[in-house]
Amino acid sequence: MSLGSPALPIHHVRLGVLAAAAAGMAAAAIHSALPGLRGGPAGDLERGLHRASMAPAPAVPPPALMADARVLLARQPLSPTPLLVAARTAEADGDTALATRLFEAALVRDPRDIAVRLWLADRYLRAARFADLVVQLDAVMRIRPALRRKLVSVIIPLVGAPEARQAIAEALVDNPVWQADFVDAAVREGQIARAFYRLVFDLGENRGFRLSDAQLTRIVKTALARGDVRSAWTIYSRYAPRSALATANQVFDAEFQGAAGPPPFNWELSNTASGSARIEPLNSRGRLRVQTFGAEPATLATQTLLLAPGDYILSSASAPDLAGSIEGLKWLLTCDRTRGELGSMKVDDGSMGGDSAGVPITVSALCPVATLQLVYAPTAQSTPGRAVLTRVGLERVGTGAG
């Protein structure tokens, strides 16, 4: 995916506006203040010159600024302000390369100058100097956290350019303060989705980079919603690796042992006013404790499955000595693409106090992604109840018709 050139001028304008705002003083006010500062303390002259040099438009003609800059240079040889004045003068003369070098030199003397960093970021963006651009924006966001969201919006479209993506990756390895803002915003941008997924996948090779479980879940769910099953699984398995051992059961953590890994390819449990489900690991086995309270329906447990076409058996089991009874509790398998039901099995019908006989289910090639849910659908006669499940299975038993 290549970087679309129409987006660049927009971000140039954004950076220019931010740089002007960071300067902090109107041109007319600077022009009226400078004459009184020339004979005053060096600090006052430096502040006035700095503001004048970084104003959106020259507040004082360049020759006058240069004269004041020479006065300041004699008083304070290490001040960055004379370099800023010289940089703006070079810019006014059309020598952008010289202006850039002078601003870079000024930044060495005052690394916290937001306006200078934003000016340089704008120039680096125009010149496709992406590594230098990211360095400047990263520094600004550390110095001025309030600008994070605005500057992240500048970075996100650049993910589509390979050179820029590499620079962004190098910055993200250090888990900068803007990482969460970047991930949360980038995952919503469909135009750069494939490039963003490539970035996230590649970052998974570096142990220094971290995604929270919530971030990983959101990225994967968004990819699934876009129909990009391959990206969803490869990213998930990169950050939440599983055993390579093959198993007939398509359900992960089918015995509720509390296996590591976030949703959607692991259990997502609910705690609502109508009911709750929680996993209780017990030595080599576990259990899913379910309680229902109200008369409203609820989804208590959910897991996304990637299924090959074929015939399957859906089964469930409970702990005989702990089993209760919940009317209206069932396992439900649905096709994500069609939203249609593939099959269901009542938990309170044969699985309480042992293993269920199982329900046959056929999955077609139209349903590569399915959702398994533990659903509570109370009737008018339903009362609060409890159940303890020890296993759920979805075993493939044949290739089916496809």
Question: For the residues of 270-322, what is the DSSP string, one character each?
Answer: -B-SSEEEEEEEETTEEEEEEEE-SSS-EEEEEEEEE--SEEEEEEEEE-TTT
Q: Note whether 170 and 317 are same-domain residues.
A: no
- Is 335 found in the same domain as 225? no
Does residue 227 lie in a domain region? yes
CATH number of the domain residue 340 falls in: 2.60.120.260
In this structure, the answer to whether residues 218 and 335 fall within a common structural domain is: no
Give the residue from 234, 255, 278 where a domain finishes: 234
User: Does 253 reside within a domain?
Assistant: no
Evaluate whether residue 192 is within a structural domain.
yes
Average pLDDT over residues 267-287: 89
Encoded amino acid at 260, one letter: A
CA distance 127 to 125: 5
Residue 243: inside a domain: no
Structural domains counted in the chain:
2
Q: Is the peptide bond before 264 cis (omega within 30 degrees of 0)?
A: yes
Per-residue pLDDT reduced to its tens digit, 145-194 = 999 999 999 999 999 999 999 999 999 998 899 999 999 999 999 999 99
Q: In which domain, by residue range, is 86 found?
A: 7-234
pLDDT digits (tens, 9 = 90+) for 327-369: 889 999 999 999 999 999 998 644 454 556 789 999 999 999 9
Which of 234, 258, 282 represents a domain boundary (last residue)? 234
Q: In what helix (H) or strand (E) does residue 141 lie, and over which residues does it extend? A: helix 130-143
55 lies in the same domain as 151: yes
Residues 336 and 216 grouped into a single domain: no
Q: Which amino acid is at 233?
A: W
172 occurs within a structural domain: yes
Tens of pLDDT along 97-107? 999 998 999 99
Give the pLDDT confidence of 12-56 residue by residue, as tens digits: 545 655 555 444 333 333 333 333 334 444 444 455 555 555 555
Mean pLDDT of the chain: 81
| CA distances (Å), origin 72, targets 54, 76, 222 | 16, 6, 56
Does residue 276 share a domain with residue 222?
Answer: no
- My answer on whether 299 and 174 are in the same domain is no
Where a domain ends, among 186, 208, 234?
Answer: 234
pLDDT tens string 61-90: 456 665 565 655 555 556 777 777 778 888
Same domain, 286 and 215: no
Same domain, 32 and 170: yes
Same domain, 223 and 348: no
Burial (CB count <10 Å: 0-12, 13-18, 19+), residue 398:
exposed
225 plus 336 within the same structural domain: no
Give the pLDDT of residue 375.
95
Q: What is the distance of C-alpha 199 from the center of its chain?
A: 11
Q: Output the pLDDT for position 14.
A: 55
